[in-house]
Amino acid sequence: MSEYKTEQKKLLLDFLEQNSDKSYTIDELVASLEASAGEAAPGKSTVYRLMTRLVGEKKVQRFAGESGRSFSYRVLADEHCHSHLHLKCLGCGKILHLDRATSDALLAQVKLVKDFSVSEEETLLFGNCAECRIGGKHG
Ligand SMILES: [Zn+2]
Ligand SMILES: [Zn+2]
Residues 50 and 89 in one domain: no
Span from the CA of 49 to the centroid of ligand 2 (angstroms)? 30
Span from the CA of 15 to the centroid of ligand 1 (angstroms)? 18
pTM, entire model: 0.67
Structurally, the chain folds into a number of domains equal to 2
* pLDDT tens digits, one per residue of 21-80: 888 999 999 999 999 889 889 999 999 999 999 998 888 888 877 666 678 888 876 677
Residue 134: pLDDT band (50, 70, 90) is: confident
What residues contact 55, with CB distance under 8 A and at least 6 apart? 61, 62, 73
Span from the CA of 92 to the centroid of ligand 2 (angstroms)? 4
Span from the CA of 45 to the centroid of ligand 2 (angstroms)? 31
**Range(s) of the domain holding residue 108:** 79-134
Q: Which ligand is nearest to the CA of 100?
A: 1
Domain with residue 27: its CATH number is 1.10.10.10
Counting every residue, how long is the chain? Answer: 139
β-strands 86-89, 95-97: how paired? antiparallel
Q: Is residue 139 part of a domain?
A: no
Q: Which ligand is nearest to the CA of 81?
A: 1
Alpha-carbon gap, residue 78 to 135, rounded angstroms: 30
β-strands 24-25, 72-75: how paired? antiparallel
Q: Which of 57, 75, 93 is the C-terminal boundary of a domain?
A: 75
